[in-house]
Structures are given as C-alpha cells and as structure tokens.
C-alpha cells in the first residue's frame, strides 16, 4: 500500500497539533487574573511545593534512568538505551508541563468563581486539565511515531520500542507511587493532626499541613495519574506492535487483501489508531468547552462517553479507505466501550447504593463501617474483570492475540480526554482549598464545591478506567512477551518453551507472582503511615514552638511539612519500585522464561483484583463520609459519633485508593514491560 | 511385590485403632465430674445449641447430598454416587462425634481447673480434642482404605475416588462457611450489644448472646475446622492417587526396582503414607498427654513439631523395607516441615513484633490500627507462599508432579495431631467462658486463661497450617485435573488440550477465577454483618421486654439468639457454597477444559494470598487487642480510648480470620476437587 507511509505520519502530526493546542490553553489560563494577594500567596506556596517535589524527584529519577540506560545499552544496544531515555524523558516532560498548568489553573479557577461565573470557573479548570491531557497523549505519540518512522526497517526495532515503553513505565511507577505516598501522607497527617490537636480542623489555615495536602493533590492526581495513563497508552501500542513484529505470517490475522502488506499494516495500525484517538479527543475537549454553561456533571460525564462512539465512527471510515478488515473497528469499539463500562461501574460502587449502605453501617460503629466498605471493595472487582474477560473473548475471536492488544489500544484511544477530566479534579479541589484558606465567601465556596464534587466522580471513573486499561494492557504485554520468547528461540533454532499450566516452573512463578501485589500494598500502606506520623509530629512541634500560631498571629511553617512529605515520598518509593523492576529480572534469569510467564500470570490475577478492591473500597469510604457530611443520614451530621466512625473508614481508604490500589496496578504493568524487554536475553536460557 | 496388599491394609488397621482410642478418650472424659448445677446448666445450653446447629445443618446438607448423589450417579455411575455419599457421611460423622466430645470436655476442663489441677485440666481439654483429631484422620483413612481394597482393580476407580473427595469437600465447604458465619455473628453481635447497651460487658451472664458465642466456638473451630482438615487430607491422597492412575508409564517417577510394580506402588503409596502419619500421630498424642505436668505452651508446640520428624524416620524405615526410592521420604519430610514452617510464620505474624506494632498504632486512632493490621496481613502472605513454592520446586525435582502431590500428603501426615491441638483451643476457651458465667473464682479463671492463651496460639498455627496445606493440595489437584483431562482425551484418540498461558481461553479463565475468592470474601463478610445485626436487635429487644433482666432477676432467652445464629448461618452459607460448586461446572461446560484450568489457576493465585492475608490480619488484630488488655502498652488499659481503637480492628478481624479467610481457602479446594470429578465429562468438549 503506497499511501501507508503517509498515513503513518498522522500520529506525529496529530501529536504536534495537540501540543499546539495545549500551549494555547496554557497561555490562555496563565493570562487570567490570579486573584488577591492572599490567593496569590497561597497558590504560590502550592506551586512552589509541587515544583520542588518534581525537581527533587527528577534528580532521583535521573540517577535511576542513567543506571538503566547503561544496563540496557550494554545488553540490548545503545539505540535501545537511548530509546529508554526518550520514553522516560517525555513522561517527565508531560508531567512537568501538566503540573505547571494545573498549579496556575487552580487559583484562577477560584478567581473565576469569585467573579461569579461558574461557567468560567469550569472552563479554567478544564483548560488547565487539558494541558496535561493533551501533553500526555501527544508526547507519547510523537515519541513512538518518530521512532517508527526512523527505525521501521531497522533489524533491532523490537528492543527500541520495548525500551521506550520501559522508560515510560519506570517513570510512571515512581511518579505514581511517590506521588501516592506524598498525597496521602499529607492528607492523613493533616487529618490526624486536626484531631489530636484541639480546635484545628483539617482545612484550617493555621494547620501547617494544609498546603502540603493541596500540593499532594497535584503531585498524586496530576503528575502521578498522567504518568500512569501515558505509560498505559504507550505500553498498549508497543504490545500490539510487538505481537505483530514477532509473529510469523500464520499468527497475524488477515487484515488486508494483499497478504504481503499484512505484517506492515499490523505493525503500524496500533499507532495509527491511537493517532485517530488523539484527534477525536481534541474534538471532544472542544465540545466539552462549548458546553460549559451546562451542568458540570453532564459536561464531564458526556466527555467520557463521547470519545468511544466518535472513535468507532472514525475508525470505520478510515479502515474503509485503507481497505482494512472492519473487525479492527469492532475491536477498537469493544475496547473503548469496555473502558467506559469499567469507569461507570467504579462510579456506581463509589457513589450510589453501596455508599449509602456504608454510611448506614457507620451508625453501629467504625467496625461495621469498615466491614461493609471492605466487602463493597471486594464485590466491586467482579464486573470490571468480567468486562475485561469479555473484551478478551471478543477480541480474540476476531483477531486472536493481536486483537487483544488492539482492544487495549481502543480502550486507551480517549487517553487525552480521560486525562483532561482527571486533571480537572485536583485543579477544582485546589480551587476550593484556596478559597477556604483565603477566607472567601460562601458563594465562591459553593461554586468550587460543585466543581469539586463532580471532580470526585470523574476521579473515581478515571481511577477505574486506569486500572481496567492496565489489566488489558498487561494481558497484551503478556502475550507479546510469550511470543517474543518463542520468536527468539525459533530464530536460534531452539524448540518453543512450554507455557503449560502443568509445568511446575509455571506453578512456582504463579505462587511467587501472587505475593508481589500484596507486598507492594503492604509497603505503600506502611509508607503512608510512617510519613503521616512524621507530619503529625512536625505539626505538633509547630503549635508548641511557634508563639501565636493558634491565635492566628503567626504563620505556620508550611514548607517544613512540604519538605517532610517530599523526602518521605522519595525515600519510600524505592522499595516498591525495586520490587517491581527487580522481580521479573531475578525470576527470569534464575528460573527462566516459563517461570517468568507464571510470575506475570500470578501477579496479574492478584494485582488486577487487589487494586480494584483497594481503589474502590477507598473511594466508597470517602464518599460515605461525604454522604454523612451532606446530611443524608438524618440525625447524624458532621462531627457526630457516626461521622467519626465514617472518618475512620475514610482514613483507611486514603492509602487504599490513592497509593496502594494505583501502585499495584502499575506494578503489574512495569513487571510485564520489563519482562518484554528482557525476553530476548532469557529466551535461550 | 507380594506383600503390597498386606501393607495396604495398614491404613484401615491404623484407622480402626485410632477410632478405638478416640472412643476410650470420649468415655474417659464423659466419666469425669461435670461440676456444680450452674456449670452443668450452662454447659447444657452450649451442648444443646451446638447439637441443634449440627442437626439443622445436617438436614440442609442431606438435601444437597441427595441431589448431588443423583447428579453424580446419573453422569458418572452409581458407584461414584455412593462413594460421594460415603465421603460426605464420614465427614459429618467425624464432626458429630468431635462436637459431642468437645461439648462434654469444656465443662469438665473447668471442673478440673476448679479442683485445682492445671495438668488435669490440660489433659481433659487435650483428650476432648483428640476425639475430634483421631476421628477425622481415622474416618478419612478407613473410607479411602476400604474403597481402595474393594475397587483397586475396578476400571472406574477414578470417579469413585474423586467423588469421595467431592463428598468430603462439599461438607467441609458448608461446615466451614456456615460455622464461620455462626461463630462470628454471635461473637460480633454480642460485642456490639455489649457496647450499645449500657453496662453489659461482652462476657456478662446477662448478655443473651454469650451462650451463642460459646456455641460458635464449637461450631466453627471444632466442626468447621475438622471438616476442613479432613477434606484436605482426603483431597491430598486422592490427588496423588489420581496422578498415578491417569499417568502413563513415562510420567510416573521411578519408585521401585521392578518397573511392572511401579504404577501399583505409586497409586497405593499416598494412602500407606497417610496411614503411617496417623500411627505417628497417635504416638505423639500420647507423648503430649504424658507431658501434661509441663508448661501447656511447650506441650502443644512440641506436639506440632514432633510429628514431621518422627514421620520422616518411620517413612525412611518403611521405604527401605519396601525397597522404595527414598526420594519419597525426602518429599514427605519436606512437605511436613513446610507445613510446620507455615504454621510458625503464622504464629509470628499473629503474636510477636507485628502485633506490638498494631497495638502501638492504636494510640493514634482506629484508622492507624487498621492500616497497620491490613499491612501486616498483606506482608504475611509472602513467606508461606515462598515455602509452598520451594516445596513444589524440590518435590518436582525429585518426583515430578506426583512428587508435588506427595508433598501435600506429607504436609497433612500429622492431621490427627494438628486437629487435636486445634480442637483443644475452643474447649479451653469454652472452659473459661463457663467458669466466668458460673461465677467461679479467680484461681479457676487463671488456669483456664492460661490454657486458653495457648489455645489462641495453636489456633493461629492451625489456621496457617490449614491454609498452607490447602494451597499445596490445590496444586496437586490442579495437576491431577490436567492429567485426567488429557488422559481421557488420549484414550478417546483425541489430541492433548493445550494449557499454554498464551491461550486466550486460559487468560479468560484466569481473569474470571481471580474474582471468585473476592466474591466469597465479600458475601461471607456481609453475611456476618447481617447476622450480627439481627442478634443485636434481639438482644436489645430482650433487655427492653424481659423485666428484671438487667438486675439479674430474670434469665436471658439464650435460645432465641442461638436460633437466630443458626438460621442465619444456614441461610447465608448457600450463596458462597453455590459459587464454589457451580463456577467450575459452569465454566467447564461452557468454555471447556482449558478455561477451567485457567479458572483454577486464577482462583488459586488470588485465593491463596487473600485467605492468608485475611486470616493473619484478623489474628494479629485480635492479639493486638489482647496485648493492650494485658497491660503491655503503659497508660492504656482495657476500656481506654486506645483499647477501643484496637477493638475496632478486632471486630473487622473477626470475620476476616474465622469466616472469610478459611472460607476462601476451602473455596479453592472445592473448585479443584469438583473440576477433577467433572474432568472426564468436559475433556472431550
């Protein structure tokens, strides 16, 4: 197909356009009024704290990246090493840009609310989020697109792509886990301090932890989430390409009439489809902006449901033009719809009936609140997993293993929109915090509260989506890993590795793999606990040693808290990070490829369900607490015994939903990507 | 080998001897003095409640058993159906006998403590437990031994053995889950009532829930645990035999010189070794009795460590006499030692440093207590899984898949002792409850407290052991299932089923399988919550409507509570039971054998870790509360704010450790056994 090379420029073209739009949004937001002096000062603290975290994190990551660069370079060639650096660098860049945008947009959202326009406030938060959303998808596509154009005929194309994904993954791992520890340590620390120190509510401006809490929203939900979604998108594309590259002719499904073009099309298609997904996302972002006068909930939910539909239509047209099997469109649609369904199920479990029941259970004690919340989290694993199973079933039916990977690409087609809506959440949350700390009136707070409430819902949907897409991506990577192993062995004239479940090596791998998600869950929970404890101690110290702080005559030393949270997050992210990166390497090189496949299968089964359980239980507890605060349980308002019971659940839920749950989802992605990268090195053992 | 048939009588012979000894213990205990009138009355209530539960449960199970009997009979022949009934009946019989013994021994232990002899009290509790321990192992071995002797040359030997295991499994499932719901509903319900109704402590004789609480200990920890361990032992033997039966000559390891005897030896050996295990256990029980003047902790721990060592020595001698490869002894030893190590690791996580840290975390709130407890539970999954992986590695290295099954047999060799020590726990717990309710003095209470404290430790060890042995048994069953499928296909001239991890059917199976343990966890937790709520309501009603109850002038209606707990447990055990039995059948018949293998693998990975996590977190919370009650946290005693925080953890831990955790372990066993049974029916789909 002669026009194929032109078509394959489109991902980069769309990426560049998206970057341009992101720049436009960035400067538009920046040019808005950022409020009075108090607002400016507080927003300055938050921005400074967020950027200080990124800067220090980047230094740690630079050391890690250089070390891995050398290891990859020595073992798989310097092109692969460079590609690893590129994948990592683009993730950091997206995070940096997105964070700057978010920490500018927060105070300007407050200011828009202050000048009385909900629509303008919504637009500001949305544009701020869109910078992150567009950058994430654009930089991923530009990176992979350029690599494709330059190296598509290079014999070493596989390690080049795989190491790009490993670069993306590594950053995601540390950004997500470090960010998750930071945000929850600050949150839980401020909560506890508010309780153990008389008369200091959680959001009180005298509480020195309150800035760190707002920084944490950005660090965790903007930078961390962005790196996570970026990684999923990159990994899904790379997995599909890897399957196409390592498959022999019989293993690639029949995509086009001309059989000689089949492999070429199969390799490029995931990238092309993701490019179309970005184009569709841009359109959807503008639709959402145009609807800003409407109810925020409608706008944001609509912008999550729209992309799958438009993407399916666009794919239908393009596949028709290219003469490609429309099974591709069907699978893209199934994947995209599957992702939306998983998001909506998460929404159900963290907002509707289950939440009311948790709130009700709080009336008989903290214990019953917890039992109910844990049970809700456990139950919530079922439908998302069944949806993934169903997507796998259909995708495989039409296009085999390649189809499974393509369904992941489809699920992640709307990445830019999902991330936009997701970054909107912490921006409007911050906007509320700034209006509270600046002592703005009730009307302002009402607007930011409304925006924030919607943000909580979209954050829950986004979290479910992130985990759901992680699961299907891991399945795709898993298939790619197994194919790559046997591809390498065949090329070396060796027999294929038996990956039968009856192989004791596989069983051993499954047993060991099933532990790892629990270990990451345990270490991240304890990390949050330790860091929160250190923050409580520092807050206590400040109230004891800073004269006049309690009487509002002196300012708290918020930087000290930011510093503790930063140091703790950076220190505590190491152990779970090492578990994720080292375990496939150790098992692969000592027990071989079959045991490593088992390791991935075991960690997938446990990691997928455990992260859904933790994320959803946490979200449900959070909203059960808010449900009571809104007065939905007659006779039990904020501050009552029953509310305090619900606060206990929320405190447990904090690390569940924002640290451990997402951390486990990323663990299984990193393990799969690293395995894919080292596959050629261990295939012949 | 001419003498083989004589050797193969030994399991039945040891079984009959063990039953005789059990009868001797039973009547010895029964003949002891059962105390004053109050003690007699209270013990009568407990006995009556426990037996009422068993009677009603048996009626429900009779319906279930008859239905399955017909289904199995129609599909796999009436011999298999009859064997199913036998497996189920023997389990019920063991439970019945053991419960009667335990509910006689409890009050006589109190009486022995009252007459001042700790050694006699220990002996009484031990003998009471030994009735259950010996019956469980003996009836299992007699059942399987007789079936072996009668049908060893029958062409349909496989379904006969498999359905015996399914019978054992089904009863275990309902006994464990029903018993677990009962015991925790009564416990949590009494706890909550004690808190919400002013001035009624948990163990107060005025609390109408207190008898049900004591009944629950018997129903859950004697009958439930007994059925569970019986099932594991039977399943491990059957799995090893099934592998030997369905393997072709090349798949069976080289066991004896004369190759023509190899298969026969391989089939009989698991039974023979279990018989030796029972003989060794009998000796160990008598050693423990002889040591009764010593510290109870030493006696009970010793009786758990001794059997593996003696069994290894005995196996060495017998294998030498029979001329069997001593790799068998090595594997039996590895399995037995592995089981002991898993038990000791459980002991560590539920008693030592981790518990002190949970207690310490209670000082900053219920939230931090819970976070720490959940993290401890998660971390505690690692070593047991690694131990199992190591056992699999060694067993496979020496004797392949057959070796893995043999290691499970080895781990369960000491079943009679483990169960004796385990049933000792609720007996001494009951003894303490009876002395409290009968208003006996502090000296009596001191003795029963000491016995009870040791019982808690051994219960934790027993729980860890039960889950650990469940995991290795499931691996063995899993291998047997896969071999059986391909054996049937080969016999029908069909190709083997690919069980490769890359098969999308396997992936779908893994995804679906990973949900099931979480669903059972969720349903059982909610069942406990609902039943506890109903009990609280009834206790409230009694205090309102029975005049004089609060002033000790009227008696509480304890039977009403027993009745609520019984009905709730029987009703609530249905759903998790159906999930366990139906899911392999549905997946097997709709998606085929490969998907079912994936289902088993997914549920194994998740079920193994999830049940360890829940059981150990629960045990750790329980002991953290007790740690504070014993005054180990200076300044925070029973009733303090910090203690209340620890009570919240304990309440969550109750269903974790005694309902959901063990329920999940049994889920994966039942699924595997059912799969093995239906293997011939789905192999050719």
Placement of tokens 């007996």 in the chain? B427
Compute the distance between CA of residue A455 and CA of residue A101 in angstroms, rounded to an integer. 17
Q: pLDDT tens digit string along A609-634?
A: 999 999 999 999 998 998 998 888 88
Weakest mean pLDDT among A296-300, A583-587, B346-350: A296-300
Choose, out of A399, A605, A646, the residue to mutate when testing the contact with B (most B CBs < 10 Å).
Answer: A605
Compute the distance between CA of residue A598 and CA of residue A588 in angstroms, rounded to an integer. 10
Least Cα distance to B539 among B213, B56, B219, B215 occurs for B213
Which value, to the nearest 10 degrees, does the dihedral of the CA atoms of residues B34, B38, B40, B46 take? -130
Minimal-distance CA residue of chain B relative to A376? B522
Compute the distance between CA of residue B152 and CA of residue B244 in angstroms, rounded to an integer. 13
Quote the tokens at residue A618: 């946490």
Placement of tokens 């690390």 in the chain? A655
Compute the distance between CA of residue A265 and CA of residue A466 in angstroms, rounded to an integer. 28
Whether the CA torsion B321, B324, B325, B331 is positive or negative: it is negative
Quote the tokens at residue A254: 């029949």
Average pLDDT over residues A245-268: 86
Q: Give Cα separations from B29 to A238, A396, B130, B683 (angstroms).
A: 70, 64, 11, 51
Q: What angle do CA A232, A234, A240 make, to 5 degrees?
A: 100
| Residue B94, H or E segment | helix B78-114
Placement of tokens 């003949």 in the chain? B31
Compute the distance between CA of residue A158 and CA of residue A153 in angstroms, rounded to an integer. 11
- Residue B28, Cβ neighbours under 10 Å: how many? 15
Q: Give Cα separations from B410 to A328, B308, B415, B595 (angstroms).
A: 53, 8, 10, 30
Placement of tokens 């051993």 in the chain? A508
**Which residues in chain B are contacts of A472 at CB distance < 8 A?**
none
Compute the distance between CA of residue A312 and CA of residue B626 in angstroms, rounded to an integer. 60
> What is the three-class DSSP state of A2?
coil
Residue B366 · residue B483 · CB < 8 Å: no
Rg (CA), chain B: 24
Compute the distance between CA of residue B237 and CA of residue B168 in angstroms, rounded to an integer. 12
- Residue B573, Cβ neighbours under 10 Å: how many? 27
Compute the distance between CA of residue B621 and CA of residue B647 in angstroms, rounded to an integer. 8
CA A41 remoteness from chain centre = 30
**Mean pLDDT for each 10-residue chunk of chain B (685 residues)?**
86 96 96 90 90 90 93 93 95 92 94 87 93 95 95 89 93 91 89 72 75 88 90 93 86 84 91 96 92 83 85 95 93 92 90 89 88 95 96 93 93 90 90 87 86 82 86 89 86 81 90 96 92 87 83 82 89 90 94 93 96 94 90 83 90 92 93 92 85
Minimal-distance CA residue of chain A relative to B364? A192
Q: Point out the residue among B512, B521, B605 whose CB comes nearest to the CB of A606.
A: B605
Cβ–Cβ below 8 Å for B515 and A601: no
A383 pLDDT tier (thresholds 50, 70, 90): very high
- Residue A63, Cβ neighbours under 10 Å: how many? 9
Alpha carbon of B524: minimum distance to chain A alpha carbons (Å): 9
Least Cα distance to B336 among B262, B256, B394, B381 occurs for B394
Weakest mean pLDDT among A303-307, A357-361, B265-269: A303-307
Residues contacting residue B189 through CB under 8 Å, at least 6 positions apart: B209, B212, B531, B532, B533, B534, B535, B536, B539, B561, B565
- Residue B577, Cβ neighbours under 10 Å: how many? 24
Compute the distance between CA of residue A657 and CA of residue B193 in angstroms, rounded to an integer. 32
Compute the distance between CA of residue B603 and CA of residue B666 in angstroms, rounded to an integer. 11
Q: What angle do CA A453, A455, A460 make, to 5 degrees?
A: 105
B634: left (phi over 0), alpha (psi -120 to 50) or beta: beta
Average pLDDT over residues A168-192: 89
Residue B72 · residue B80 · CB < 8 Å: yes
Cβ–Cβ below 8 Å for A499 and B504: no
Least Cα distance to A331 among A250, A236, A234 occurs for A236
Compute the distance between CA of residue A665 and CA of residue A466 in angstroms, rounded to an integer. 8
Least Cα distance to A374 among A651, A613, A659, A643 occurs for A613
Minimal-distance CA residue of chain A relative to B391? A508
Placement of tokens 């959680």 in the chain? A202
Q: Residue by residue, what is the 3-state secondary structure of A92-149?
A: HHHHHHHHHHHHHHHHHHHHHHHCCCHHHHHHHHHHHHHHHHHHHHHHHHHHHHHHHH
Least Cα distance to B65 among B174, B160, B211 occurs for B174
Quote the tokens at residue A669: 């992605």
Cβ–Cβ below 8 Å for B371 and A528: yes
Weakest mean pLDDT among A2-6, A80-84, A225-229, A664-668: A2-6
Average pLDDT over residues A291-315: 86
pLDDT surpasses 80 at A381? yes
Q: Point out the residue among A536, A610, A648 whose CB comes nearest to the CB of B648.
A: A648
Count the alpha carbons within 13 Å of A307 in the hemisphere toward its beta carbon.
Answer: 37
Weakest mean pLDDT among A11-25, A542-556, B316-330, B520-534: A542-556
Cβ–Cβ below 8 Å for B370 and A648: yes
Q: Residue by residue, what is the 3-state secondary structure of B211-248?
A: HHHHHHHHHHHHHHHHHHHHHHHHHHHHHHHHHHHHCC
Placement of tokens 């050719």 in the chain? B684
A198 pLDDT tier (thresholds 50, 70, 90): low
Cβ–Cβ below 8 Å for A602 and B605: yes
Which pLDDT score is estimated for A201? Answer: 65
Cβ–Cβ below 8 Å for A370 and B500: no
> What is the three-class DSSP state of A532?
helix
- Residue B204, Cβ neighbours under 10 Å: how many? 16
Residue B409 · residue B234 · CB < 8 Å: no
Which pLDDT score is estimated for B403? Answer: 94
| Residue A255, H or E segment | none
**Which residues in chain A are contacts of B358 at CB distance < 8 A?**
none
pTM greater than 0.90 (yes/no)? yes
Compute the distance between CA of residue A406 and CA of residue A503 in angstroms, rounded to an integer. 29
Compute the distance between CA of residue A327 and CA of residue B542 in angstroms, rounded to an integer. 66
Which pLDDT score is estimated for B600? Answer: 95
Which value, to the nearest 10 degrees, does the dihedral of the CA atoms of residues B214, B219, B220, B225 take? 130
| Residue B160, H or E segment | helix B157-196
DSSP symbol at A494? P
- Residue A60, Cβ neighbours under 10 Å: how many? 16
Residues contacting residue B233 through CB under 8 Å, at least 6 positions apart: B136, B137, B140, B274, B412, B415
Q: Point out the residue among A365, A510, A613 whose CB comes nearest to the CB of B518.
A: A613
- Residue A55, Cβ neighbours under 10 Å: how many? 11
**Which residues in chain A are contacts of B379 at CB distance < 8 A?**
518-519, 522
**Which residues in chain B are contacts of A479 at CB distance < 8 A?**
502
Which pLDDT score is estimated for B545? Answer: 86
Q: Point out the residue among B374, B501, B508 whose CB comes nearest to the CB of A525.
A: B374
Compute the distance between CA of residue B589 and CA of residue B592 in angstroms, rounded to an integer. 6
The torsion angles phi and psi of B66, rounded to 5 degrees, stand at -65, -40
Q: Where are the alpha helices (DSSP H) in A350-414?
A: 353-361, 366-379, 382-411
Percent of chain A with pLDDT over 90: 53
Average pLDDT over all residues of chain A: 90
Which pLDDT score is estimated for B556? Answer: 83
């Amino acid at each position: 197909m002669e026009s194929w090379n032109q078509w394959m420029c489109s991902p980069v073209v769309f990426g560049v356009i998206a970057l341009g739009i992101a720049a436009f949004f960035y400067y538009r937001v920046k040019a808005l009024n950022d409020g009075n002096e108090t607002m400016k000062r507080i927003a300055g603290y938050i921005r400074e704290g967020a950027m200080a975290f990124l800067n220090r994190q980047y230094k740690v990551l630079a050391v890690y990246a250089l070390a891995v660069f050398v290891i990859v370079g020595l073992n798989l060639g310097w092109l692969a090493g460079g590609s690893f650096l590129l994948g990592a660098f683009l993730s950091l860049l997206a995070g940096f840009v997105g964070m700057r945008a978010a920490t500018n947009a927060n105070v300007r959202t407050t200011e828009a609310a202050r000048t009385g326009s909900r629509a303008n406030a919504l637009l500001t938060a949305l544009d701020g989020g869109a910078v992150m959303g567009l950058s994430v998808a654009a930089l991923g596509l530009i990176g992979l697109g350029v690599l494709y154009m330059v190296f598509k005929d290079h014999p070493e194309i596989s390690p080049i792509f795989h190491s790009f994904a490993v670069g993306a993954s590594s950053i995601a791992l540390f950004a997500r886990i470090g960010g998750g520890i930071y945000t929850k340590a600050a949150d839980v620390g401020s909560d506890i301090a508010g309780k153990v120190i008389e008369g200091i509510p959680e959001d009180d401006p005298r509480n020195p932890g309150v800035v760190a809490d707002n920084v944490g929203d950005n660090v965790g939900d903007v930078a961390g989430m962005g790196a996570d979604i970026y990684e999923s998108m990159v990994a899904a594309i790379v997995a599909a390409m890897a399957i196409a590259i390592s498959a022999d002719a019989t293993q690639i499904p029949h995509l086009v009439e001309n059989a000689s073009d089949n492999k070429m099309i199969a390799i490029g298609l995931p990238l092309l489809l993701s490019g179309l997904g970005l184009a569709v996302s841009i359109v959807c972002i503008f639709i959402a902006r145009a609807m800003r006068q409407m109810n925020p909930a409608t706008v944001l939910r609509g912008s999550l449901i729209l992309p799958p539909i438009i993407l399916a239509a666009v794919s239908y047209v393009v596949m028709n033009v290219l003469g490609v099997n429309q099974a591709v469109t069907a699978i893209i649609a199934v994947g995209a719809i599957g992702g939306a369904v998983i998001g909506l199920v998460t929404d159900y479990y963290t907002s509707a009936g289950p939440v009311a029941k948790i709130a009700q259970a709080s009336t008989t004690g903290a214990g019953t609140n917890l039992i109910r919340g844990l049970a809700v989290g456990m139950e919530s694993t079922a439908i998302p997993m069944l949806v993934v199973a169903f997507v796998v079933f259909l995708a495989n039916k039409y296009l085999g293993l390649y189809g499974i990977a393509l369904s992941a690409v489809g699920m992640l087609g709307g990445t830019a929109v999902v991330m936009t809506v997701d970054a909107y959440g912490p921006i409007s949350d911050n906007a509320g915090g700034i209006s509270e700390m600046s002592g703005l009136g009730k009307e302002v707070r009402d607007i930011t509260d409304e925006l924030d409430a919607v943000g909580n819902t979209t954050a829950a949907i986004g979290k479910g989506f992130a985990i759901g897409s992680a699961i299907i991506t891991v399945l795709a990577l898993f298939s790619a890993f197994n194919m790559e192993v046997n591809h390498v062995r065949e090329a070396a004239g060796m027999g294929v590795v038996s990956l039968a479940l009856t192989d004791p090596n596989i069983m051993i791998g499954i047993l060991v793999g099933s532990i790892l998600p629990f270990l990451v869950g345990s270490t991240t929970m304890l990390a949050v606990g330790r860091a929160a404890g250190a923050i409580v101690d520092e807050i206590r110290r400040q109230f004891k040693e800073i004269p006049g702080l309690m009487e509002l005559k002196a300012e708290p030393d918020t930087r000290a808290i930011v510093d503790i949270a930063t140091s703790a997050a950076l220190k505590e992210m190491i152990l779970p990070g090492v578990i994720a990166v080292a375990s496939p390497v150790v098992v692969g090189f000592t027990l071989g490829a079959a045991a490593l496949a088992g390791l991935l299968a075991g960690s997938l089964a446990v990691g997928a369900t455990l992260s859904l359980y933790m994320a959803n239980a946490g979200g449900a507890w959070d909203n059960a607490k808010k449900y009571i605060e809104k007065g939905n349980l007659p006779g039990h308002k904020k501050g009552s015994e029953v509310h305090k019971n619900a606060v206990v659940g929320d405190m447990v839920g904090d690390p569940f939903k924002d640290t451990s749950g997402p951390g486990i989802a990323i663990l299984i992605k990193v393990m799969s990507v690293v395995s894919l990268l080292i596959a050629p090195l261990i295939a012949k053992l």
